[in-house]
Amino acid sequence: GQQVMQIPQYQHVQEGEDFTTYCNSSTTLSNIQWYKQRPGGHPVFLIQLVKSGEVKKQKRLTFQFGEAKKNSSLHITATQTTDVGTYFCAGPGSGNTGKLIFGQGTTLQVKP
């Protein structure tokens, strides 16, 4: 079945360092979404990418969608302690039913 893989599973960085998480799908995606979950919280939507090669920025966060629409990345520049949490990518499931299949997530810890 369809799989969405995310690496790395964990990342520890010093405050001010950059961070990147990568997402790969076994199938071509019509779009990809990114979510952030703070410790003890629930996932919160960050962004959706739809076009091949699309790049979107939100302050220090840069999201990319691959040319083949099978991979995506989230890059955070100059991490801050407020960036701590787990970042998930998610792609549509088969059948155009609206369901989303999530990657395993990357947990980011930032040392002050």
The C-alpha atoms of residue 11 and residue 86 are separated, in whole angstroms, by 10
Q: Residue 40 Cβ, how far from another protein at the closest point, in Å?
A: 9
Q: Which of 42/59 has CB closer to another protein?
A: 42
Instruction: Build a one-symbol-per-residue string for 15-44: x at contacts with another protein by CB under 8 A, - elsewhere.
Output: ---------------xx-x-x-----xxxx
DSSP E strands, the chain: 4-7, 10-14, 19-25, 32-37, 44-49, 55-58, 61-65, 71-76, 85-92, 100-102, 106-111
Closer residue to another protein, CB minimum distance, 82 or 96: 96
Shortest separation between residue 36's beta carbon and another protein, angstroms: 11
For CA atoms 5, 109, 20, 34, the dihedral sign is: positive
∠ Cα 10 91 33 (to 5°): 70
Q: Tell me if 73 contacts another protein by CB under 8 A.
A: no
Among 20, 24, 27, 48, binds another protein (CB under 8 A): 48
The residue ranges that bind another protein (CB under 8 A) are 1, 6, 9, 30-31, 33, 35, 41-45, 48, 50, 88, 90, 92-93, 96-105
